[in-house]
Amino acid sequence: MSANAKILIVDDDPDIVESMKVILESKNYQVSVAKTGEEGLRKVRGEAPDLVILDVMLETGDKGFDVAREIKWDPQYKHLPILMLTAIKEKTGLDFMKEAGDEQWLPVDDYCDKPLHPGELVSKVEALLNKR
Protein backbone atom coordinates (compact mmCIF):
# COMPACT_ATOMS: atom_id res chain seq x y z
CA MET A 1 0.00 0.00 0.00
CA SER A 2 2.62 2.48 1.05
CA ALA A 3 5.22 1.81 -1.64
CA ASN A 4 5.20 4.43 -4.39
CA ALA A 5 3.03 6.64 -2.27
CA LYS A 6 3.32 10.33 -3.03
CA ILE A 7 4.80 12.46 -0.28
CA LEU A 8 4.85 16.22 -0.28
CA ILE A 9 7.53 17.93 1.81
CA VAL A 10 6.78 21.53 2.74
CA ASP A 11 9.95 23.03 4.20
CA ASP A 12 12.06 26.06 3.34
CA ASP A 13 15.41 24.57 4.40
CA PRO A 14 16.88 23.06 1.22
CA ASP A 15 19.39 20.89 3.10
CA ILE A 16 16.82 19.32 5.40
CA VAL A 17 14.58 18.78 2.39
CA GLU A 18 17.38 17.11 0.45
CA SER A 19 18.25 14.74 3.31
CA MET A 20 14.60 13.72 3.73
CA LYS A 21 14.24 13.30 0.00
CA VAL A 22 17.22 10.94 -0.10
CA ILE A 23 15.84 8.85 2.76
CA LEU A 24 12.29 8.66 1.40
CA GLU A 25 13.34 8.00 -2.20
CA SER A 26 15.50 5.13 -0.97
CA LYS A 27 12.21 3.60 0.20
CA ASN A 28 10.68 4.17 -3.24
CA TYR A 29 8.37 6.99 -2.29
CA GLN A 30 7.66 9.70 -4.82
CA VAL A 31 8.72 12.94 -3.24
CA SER A 32 7.75 16.42 -4.26
CA VAL A 33 8.80 19.62 -2.53
CA ALA A 34 7.25 22.98 -1.72
CA LYS A 35 9.23 25.85 -0.25
CA THR A 36 6.38 27.99 1.06
CA GLY A 37 3.01 27.46 2.67
CA GLU A 38 1.21 28.82 -0.39
CA GLU A 39 3.12 26.51 -2.70
CA GLY A 40 2.39 23.62 -0.34
CA LEU A 41 -1.37 24.26 -0.44
CA ARG A 42 -1.26 24.58 -4.20
CA LYS A 43 0.55 21.27 -4.52
CA VAL A 44 -1.82 19.53 -2.10
CA ARG A 45 -4.69 20.48 -4.43
CA GLY A 46 -2.76 19.95 -7.65
CA GLU A 47 -0.80 16.76 -6.95
CA ALA A 48 -3.06 14.98 -4.44
CA PRO A 49 -0.23 13.58 -2.27
CA ASP A 50 -0.81 10.64 0.09
CA LEU A 51 1.00 12.34 2.94
CA VAL A 52 2.35 15.79 3.79
CA ILE A 53 5.49 16.44 5.79
CA LEU A 54 5.14 19.96 7.05
CA ASP A 55 7.73 22.11 8.76
CA VAL A 56 6.28 24.19 11.56
CA MET A 57 8.55 27.14 10.79
CA LEU A 58 7.87 28.29 7.30
CA GLU A 59 7.95 31.95 6.35
CA THR A 60 6.89 32.98 9.84
CA GLY A 61 7.52 31.23 13.13
CA ASP A 62 4.39 29.09 13.04
CA LYS A 63 3.01 29.36 9.52
CA GLY A 64 3.05 25.54 9.41
CA PHE A 65 0.08 25.50 11.80
CA ASP A 66 -1.98 27.72 9.48
CA VAL A 67 -1.18 25.49 6.52
CA ALA A 68 -2.15 22.37 8.51
CA ARG A 69 -5.44 23.97 9.57
CA GLU A 70 -6.28 24.97 6.03
CA ILE A 71 -5.68 21.44 4.79
CA LYS A 72 -7.74 19.81 7.53
CA TRP A 73 -10.63 22.27 7.20
CA ASP A 74 -11.06 21.36 3.56
CA PRO A 75 -13.51 18.42 3.54
CA GLN A 76 -11.72 16.96 0.57
CA TYR A 77 -8.39 16.72 2.41
CA LYS A 78 -9.36 16.30 6.04
CA HIS A 79 -8.12 12.70 5.98
CA LEU A 80 -4.79 13.58 4.37
CA PRO A 81 -2.18 12.63 6.99
CA ILE A 82 0.18 15.37 8.10
CA LEU A 83 3.52 14.78 9.78
CA MET A 84 4.65 18.00 11.39
CA LEU A 85 8.33 18.76 11.86
CA THR A 86 8.64 20.59 15.14
CA ALA A 87 10.56 20.71 18.37
CA ILE A 88 7.43 21.76 20.20
CA LYS A 89 7.58 18.98 22.74
CA GLU A 90 11.09 19.93 23.70
CA LYS A 91 10.06 23.58 23.89
CA THR A 92 6.87 23.30 25.88
CA GLY A 93 6.58 19.74 27.02
CA LEU A 94 3.18 19.59 25.37
CA ASP A 95 1.82 16.63 23.56
CA PHE A 96 -0.21 18.82 21.31
CA MET A 97 -1.84 16.52 18.80
CA LYS A 98 -3.63 14.26 21.24
CA GLU A 99 -7.27 15.23 21.32
CA ALA A 100 -9.54 17.63 19.53
CA GLY A 101 -10.98 20.16 21.95
CA ASP A 102 -7.75 20.33 23.89
CA GLU A 103 -6.43 23.83 24.21
CA GLN A 104 -3.21 22.72 22.61
CA TRP A 105 -4.78 20.56 19.96
CA LEU A 106 -3.41 21.07 16.49
CA PRO A 107 -4.62 19.46 13.35
CA VAL A 108 -1.73 17.15 12.60
CA ASP A 109 -1.50 13.37 12.79
CA ASP A 110 1.99 13.00 14.17
CA TYR A 111 5.10 15.05 14.69
CA CYS A 112 8.79 14.55 14.50
CA ASP A 113 11.58 16.56 16.03
CA LYS A 114 14.50 17.86 13.99
CA PRO A 115 17.11 16.46 13.44
CA LEU A 116 15.40 13.57 11.77
CA HIS A 117 16.76 10.11 12.18
CA PRO A 118 16.20 8.11 9.02
CA GLY A 119 14.65 5.18 10.90
CA GLU A 120 12.27 7.38 12.84
CA LEU A 121 11.18 9.29 9.76
CA VAL A 122 10.53 6.14 7.76
CA SER A 123 8.64 4.39 10.53
CA LYS A 124 6.43 7.43 11.17
CA VAL A 125 5.71 7.83 7.48
CA GLU A 126 4.88 4.14 7.11
CA ALA A 127 2.62 4.16 10.15
CA LEU A 128 0.67 7.17 8.86
CA LEU A 129 0.31 5.72 5.37
CA ASN A 130 -0.89 2.38 6.71
CA LYS A 131 -3.46 4.07 8.92
CA ARG A 132 -5.25 5.64 5.97
Partner 1 sequence: MTSFKQLEGLCERLYWLIRLRWIAAASVFLTVLLTGHIFKFSLPAFDLYAASTALGVYNLVFFVLLKSIKGKESFVIVNRIANSQISLDLLSLAVLIHFSGGIENPFLFYFIFHMIIASVLLSKRASFLQATFAVLLFSIMVSLEYFAVLPHYCLKKFIIHDQQHNLTYISGVSFVFISTLYIAVYMATSISGRLKQREKVLGEANLQLEEKDRIKSEYVLRVTHGIKEHLSAIQGCLEPVSGGITGELNAKQFDLVQRAVRRTAKLMSFVKALLQITRIKLSKEMKMEYFSLRDSCLEAINDTSAKAKAKFISVNFTMEPGIGPIRAAREYIQETLTDLLVNSIKYTPPRGKIDVGLRNRGSVILIEIADTGIGIPKNELPRIFEEFYRASNAQVAERDGTGLGLSIAKRVVEMHSGRIWIESEEGKGTKLNIELPK
**Residues of this chain that bind partner 1 (CB under 8 A):** 13, 15-16, 18-20, 22-23, 26, 90-91, 93-94, 114-119
Contact 69, 93 (CB under 8 A): no
Distance CA 27, CA 108 (A): 23
Q: Which is nearer to partner 1, 116 or 129 (CB)?
A: 116
Nearest distance in Å: CB 89, partner 1: 8
Nearest distance in Å: CB 124, partner 1: 15
Sign of CA dihedral 8, 11, 12, 18: negative
Nearest distance in Å: CB 98, partner 1: 14
Q: Which is nearer to partner 1, 61 or 75 (CB)?
A: 61
Q: Which is nearer to partner 1, 26 or 60 (CB)?
A: 26
Distance CA 19, CA 23 (A): 6
Distance CA 21, CA 45 (A): 21
Q: Which is nearer to partner 1, 47 or 102 (CB)?
A: 102
Nearest distance in Å: CB 17, partner 1: 9
Sign of CA dihedral 31, 53, 42, 3: positive
Distance CA 10, CA 66 (A): 13
